[in-house]
Chain A
Amino acid sequence: MLLLGRACLLLALGLAILGAAASVYGARSGRPEWQAAGRRCVYALFAVLTVAMGVIELAFARSDFSFRLVASHSSTTTPAFYKLTAMWSSQEGSLLLWVWLLAGWSSLAVRAAGRRARALAPWAGAVLLALAAFFLGLINVLADPIQLLEPAAVEGNGLQPLLRHPAMVIHPPMLYSGYTLATVPLAFAIGALVTRRVDGAWIRVTRRFVLASWLCLTLGILLGARWSWSELGWGGYWAWDPVENAALLPWLTGTAALHSLVVQEKRGTLKAWNVTLALGTGVLAVVGTFLVRSGILESIHAFGASTLGLPFLIFIVALVLGSTALVLARRDVLRSSARLESLVSRETVFVLNNLVLVGLSLVVLWGTFFPLISEALTGRRASVGPPWFTRYTVPLAIAAVLLSGIGPLLAWRRATPRALGRTFRMPLAAAVVVAVVLLAAPVPDAPRALALFAVAAFALSAVAQEYWRGTRARRAATGLPWPAALGGLVARNRRRYGGYLVHAGIALLLVGVAASSAFQRVRDARLAPGASASVGGYDVRYVRPTAKVEPEKLSLGALLEVRREGRLIATLRPSRGYYPVADERRLGTLGRWFEGESTSEVGLLSDARRDVWAAVEPDLQPFRSMIDGIDLRFPLAGGRMEPLFLRALAERYELDAPPAAFRLIVSPLVAWVWVGGLVAFGGGVLAIWPARRRQRVPARARAAAAPAAAQGSA
C-alpha cells in the first residue's frame, strides 16, 4: 500500500508537469490534440491523487503505524470518525488535501470552460497544473505524507485533543476548498490576459467559482470561530491572529470581486479592476497557505519547524511579479469604454463597496505583515494587537454594512430623486428609530457599536423591503398567494435575492460581533465549592466539583448554578480534560496523565439574548503528593491498576477539591454571529444554486397555447 501511495504521488507530479507543458504547447500552436491532452492530465491528476488519499485514509482507518503519518497523528483509541480526519492535522497531510482539492476543482473548471471559454481553457489549465506541480514538488521533496516508519510503532501518538471537535473536522477542508477555489479565477484571469480576451467569457466561467470559494471560506471561518468560542478556554472567537487573517484576506477580496464582476457583466466597466481582484484573491489564497506553513510570523497556528517557507516565498513572488507584468502588458485591452453615468446608481455603490472591502483587506494585510515591515524598516520586529485592527476595521465595517443596504435600493445607471424618496423612506426610518431608542436606553457608552446597530437596521430593513416589493409585484402579476409568490420570486432571481440574504446575514453577524465585543463582561475568579461570583448581572455559584474517568481522559470540573435576580436559569458543567502521554516509565502511572495535553470543556448557556460562558482550571497542587506517592510506590503499575488509581484520585477530588480558577463571561447577542453567518451562507447557497432550465417550447406550440390561455383567463 505504501508503495502504491508513493507511486501515486510521483505519478501526480509527472502528470502536473506534463499536463502544464501540453496545455501551453497546445494553446500556442493551436493544436487541439495537445489541448485535450492537457485537459486529460487534469482529470488524471485528480484520479491519481484520489487513490493516494485513499491509501492514507485506509492506513488511518486500519491504524497502520508503519505509516509515519498515522503513528504521529492517530492511535488505536482515537475515535473512528476522527481517525479519518486526522490526516489534515499534519503538515504533510494537509498539503495533500490542498492539492487534491485543487485537482478536483480544476477538473470541474476545465470541464466548464470547455463549453464556454474554449480559447482560455488551455492557459487556465496550465496555470492550475503549474500550481499543482508546485505543491506536489513540496510534497514529494519536503513534506512527504507517505513515509515508512521502521520498525512500525506499537501505538500511535493520537490526534491532538483540541482538534477532537466536529467543527475542526470540517474547518480545514472548507478553508482549503476556499483557497483552492480562489485559484480558479486567478488561472482564468491569466488565460484571459494572455489571450487578450478580457470580455465576459472568463467571468462567466469563474463567477460560480468565486462564489463557491466565498461560501467555503465563510463556512470555514465561521466553524473556526465557533470552535474557538465553545472549545478553547480563553473566551473569544476572533483574535486577529495571522492565520485567522490569512483566511479573512481572500474572503474580503472575494466579496469585492463578487460585486465588481456583476458591474462588468451589466455595464462592461471595471475590466482592469476585476482582473486585478481575481489575481489578488488567488495570490492571497496561496499567501494564506504560506502563512500557516512558513513560521515567518508568530502565530498560534503556524507549523513551527517548517522548511517550506523559502520555496513558498519564491513561488508567491514569482506569481505576484508575473501577474503584475501581465496586467501592465495588457493595459490597452483592459480599458473600459463604458463610464459610470451617475454617482447615484447601483454601480457607483458597488465601486464604493469595493473600495471599502479592498481598504479593509489592505488594513488586515498591513497589520498581519507589520512584523516583517517593521523589521525591514527599523531592524526591530514589532507587531500590532487587536486594538489597532479594530481602530480601522470597525469604521470600514460600518461603511460596508451601510453600502450593503444602499446598493439594493438604487437602480442601475441612474436613480431618480422620486425613486430615492420612495425606497429610502423605510430603511432610513428604521435606522433613526434604532438610533434614538439606543441613545435613550441605559446602554453603556459605545458609539461605534451603536452606529453599527443603526446601519444594520438600515440594511436589514432595505433587504426586507426589497423582498416585500418583489413579492407584492409578483403576486399582483400572477395572482399567487403570498408564500408562492415569494418562492417564485426567489426561484426566478436566485442570484439577486440570495445576495440580499447574504447582506442581511452579514448585518446580523456584525450586530453580534459589535454587541459581544462592546458589552461583554468578563470575571476571573478563584472559587471554593459553595462560593459565588457575579458577572454582568448574573450570579454564578460553584455548587460542587465533578470528576469522571474515561478511557482516553480524566475530566475534572465543576457544577455551576447560574441565577438572575435569584431565579435559577441554568446549570453549567465546565471541565478540563487531561490526556495521558505514553511515557509511563519516565513520568509515572498517574503523573503521565498530567504531563500530556489538557483541554477545556466550556460550560455554555446560549440563547438569542446572550451567552453565559464558563471555563474552569482545577488546582492540582494539593494532589501532587498523592500522585507522586502512587508513582513512587507502584512504578509501571499500568494495566488494570491504572484505572483504580485514577478513580481514587477522582473520588478524592470530588470529596475535597481545593478552590479552582474560573473564567466567567456574559456576552450579549453572540448567538447572532452564528445565526448571521448561517443566513449569509444560506444566501450564498441560494445564489449559487443552478437556475432551473426553462423548457423550450416550440414557437408553434406557443402560438397554439396562447388563444387557449386567453380563453381560460376570460
Chain B
Amino acid sequence: MAGKQSRKLIALGAAVLLAGALAWSSFTASSEAVSPSGLLQAAQGGRAYELTGTVLPGYRRLGEVLHFRVRDRAGSATVPVRYRGAVPDPFRAGREVIVTVRRAGAAWVGDRDSLITKCPSKFSTESDRR
C-alpha cells in the first residue's frame, strides 16, 4: 500500500514538474499580441510583438523587402512595417494580417516568414456579403 502511494506521489510530482516547465517556457518564449495603437503606446526595444491589424493601401515591394502599414481593426493608429520572407497569397490592402515585429528605430521590422494573412474564404463579414 505504501509502495502504491509513493508511486502515486512520484507520478504526481513528475506531472507537476512537467506542467511547471511547460507553463514557464510558454511565458518566456511567447510574444505579446498587440494592435498598432497598443504597439505605439507600450512597445519596448528588442522585444518581439505579434502585431495584428489591417493592411493599408499603398504597400510596395522594394527588392526583397515588402513595405506596408498596419492599421487598427477599429481605429486610426498605424505602424510602418518592413518585412522579408514569404508573403501569403491572400495578402493585400484591407486584409487582416498577423506579423511578428521588433522595433528598429522609427520603423518595425517583421521576423522572416512570420507574416500570415487571414484566409478570406472564411473571413466573410456582413458588409462583404452585402
Report yes or no: B116 in contact with A661, Cβ–Cβ below 8 A: no
Report yes or no: A617 in contact with B90, Cβ–Cβ below 8 A: no
Report yes or no: A599 in contact with B89, Cβ–Cβ below 8 A: yes
Given contacts A234-B113, A663-B86, contact A371 B33 (CB under 8 A): yes
Report yes or no: B120 in contact with A383, Cβ–Cβ below 8 A: no
- Find B22's partner among A160, A366, A382, A663 (CB 8 Å cutoff): A366
Looking at the assembled complex, report how far the CB atom of A557 sits from the nearest CB atom of chain B, in whole angstroms.
14
Report yes or no: A385 in contact with B100, Cβ–Cβ below 8 A: yes
Residue A292 lies at the interface, judged by CB distance under 8 Å to chain B: yes
Residue B63 lies at the interface, judged by CB distance under 8 Å to chain A: yes
Q: Which residues of A contact B31 (CB under 8 A)?
A: 382-383, 385
Q: Which residues of B contact A642 (CB under 8 A)?
A: none
Report yes or no: A300 in contact with B118, Cβ–Cβ below 8 A: yes
Q: Which residues of B contact A363 (CB under 8 A)?
A: 22
A305 to B60, CA, bound (A): 28
CB 8 Å contact bits of A557-574 with B (1 = contact, 0 = none):
000000000000000000
Residue A388 lies at the interface, judged by CB distance under 8 Å to chain B: yes
Does more than half of chain B's interface fall in helix, strand or loop, or is it mixed? mixed
Looking at the assembled complex, report how far the CB atom of A75 sits from the nearest CB atom of chain B, in whole angstroms.
14
Q: Which residues of B contact A599 (CB under 8 A)?
A: 89
Question: Count of chain A residues with Cβ under 8 Å from any Cβ of B?
Answer: 53
A90 to B120, CA, bound (A): 11
Residue A484 lies at the interface, judged by CB distance under 8 Å to chain B: no
Q: Which residues of A contact B33 (CB under 8 A)?
A: 298, 371, 381-383
- Find B89's partner among A383, A392, A595, A598 (CB 8 Å cutoff): A598
Given contacts A300-B117, A621-B60, contact A232 B88 (CB under 8 A): yes
Given contacts A300-B118, A304-B123, contact A68 B129 (CB under 8 A): yes
Using a CB-CB cutoff of 8 Å, which residues 5-29 of chain B contact chain A?
18, 22-23, 25-27, 29
A410 to B23, CA, bound (A): 36
Residue A26 lies at the interface, judged by CB distance under 8 Å to chain B: no
Report yes or no: B89 in contact with A619, Cβ–Cβ below 8 A: no
Question: Count of chain B residues with Cβ under 8 Å from any Cβ of A?
Answer: 43
- Find B121's partner among A160, A381, A383 (CB 8 Å cutoff): A160
Report yes or no: B120 in contact with A160, Cβ–Cβ below 8 A: yes
User: Residue of A at shortest CB range from B42?
Assistant: A380
User: Residue of A at shortest CB range from B33?
Assistant: A381
- Find B32's partner among A299, A380, A387, A595 (CB 8 Å cutoff): A380
Residue B119 lies at the interface, judged by CB distance under 8 Å to chain A: yes
Using a CB-CB cutoff of 8 Å, which residues 545-602 of chain A contact chain B?
595, 597-600
Residue A367 lies at the interface, judged by CB distance under 8 Å to chain B: yes
A301 to B90, CA, bound (A): 12
Report yes or no: A304 in contact with B84, Cβ–Cβ below 8 A: no
Q: How many A-B pairs with Cβ below 8 Å?
A: 124
A621 to B27, CA, bound (A): 43
Report yes or no: A235 in contact with B119, Cβ–Cβ below 8 A: no
Report yes or no: B86 in contact with A235, Cβ–Cβ below 8 A: yes
Report yes or no: A300 in contact with B119, Cβ–Cβ below 8 A: yes
Given contacts A72-B129, A524-B64, contact A374 B88 (CB under 8 A): no
CB 8 Å contact bits of A58-73 with B (1 = contact, 0 = none):
0000000000100010
Report yes or no: B29 in contact with A303, Cβ–Cβ below 8 A: no
Using a CB-CB cutoff of 8 Å, which residues 9-57 of chain A contact chain B?
none
Residue B50 lies at the interface, judged by CB distance under 8 Å to chain A: yes
Report yes or no: B30 in contact with A374, Cβ–Cβ below 8 A: yes
User: Residue of A at shortest CB range from B116?
Assistant: A300
- Find A367's partner among B26, B52, B60 (CB 8 Å cutoff): B26
Looking at the assembled complex, report how far the CB atom of B47 sits from the nearest CB atom of chain A, in whole angstroms.
11
A233 to B90, CA, bound (A): 10
Given contacts A233-B88, A302-B118, A524-B85, contact A72 B30 (CB under 8 A): no
- Find B29's partner among A160, A299, A384, A661 (CB 8 Å cutoff): A384
Residue A361 lies at the interface, judged by CB distance under 8 Å to chain B: no
Looking at the assembled complex, report how far the CB atom of A689 sits from the nearest CB atom of chain B, in whole angstroms.
35
A524 to B86, CA, bound (A): 8
Given contacts A162-B90, A233-B86, A598-B89, contact A381 B122 (CB under 8 A): no
Q: Which residues of B contact A391 (CB under 8 A)?
A: 25, 29
Using a CB-CB cutoff of 8 Å, which residues 594-614 of chain A contact chain B?
595, 597-600
Looking at the assembled complex, report how far the CB atom of A361 sits from the nearest CB atom of chain B, in whole angstroms.
13
Report yes or no: A392 in contact with B113, Cβ–Cβ below 8 A: no
A663 to B112, CA, bound (A): 13
Using a CB-CB cutoff of 8 Å, which residues 65-104 of chain B contact chain A?
84-90, 92, 96, 98, 100
A661 to B96, CA, bound (A): 23
Residue B41 lies at the interface, judged by CB distance under 8 Å to chain A: no
Looking at the assembled complex, report how far the CB atom of B21 sits from the nearest CB atom of chain A, in whole angstroms.
9
Q: Which residues of B contact A68 (CB under 8 A)?
A: 129
Q: Which residues of B contact A72 (CB under 8 A)?
A: 124, 128-129
Residue A207 lies at the interface, judged by CB distance under 8 Å to chain B: no
CB 8 Å contact bits of A87-99 with B (1 = contact, 0 = none):
0011100000000
B residues neighboring A (CB under 8 Å):
18, 22-23, 25-27, 29-33, 50, 52, 60-61, 63-64, 84-90, 92, 96, 98, 100, 113-114, 116-126, 128-129
A residues neighboring B (CB under 8 Å):
68, 72, 89-91, 160, 162-163, 232-235, 239, 241, 292, 298-305, 359, 362-363, 366-367, 370-371, 374, 380-385, 387-388, 391-392, 524, 526, 595, 597-600, 617, 619, 621, 661, 663
Among all A-B residue pairs, the 10 with the closest Cβ atoms: A160-B121, A382-B30, A305-B125, A234-B86, A381-B33, A304-B123, A382-B32, A388-B29, A303-B122, A300-B116
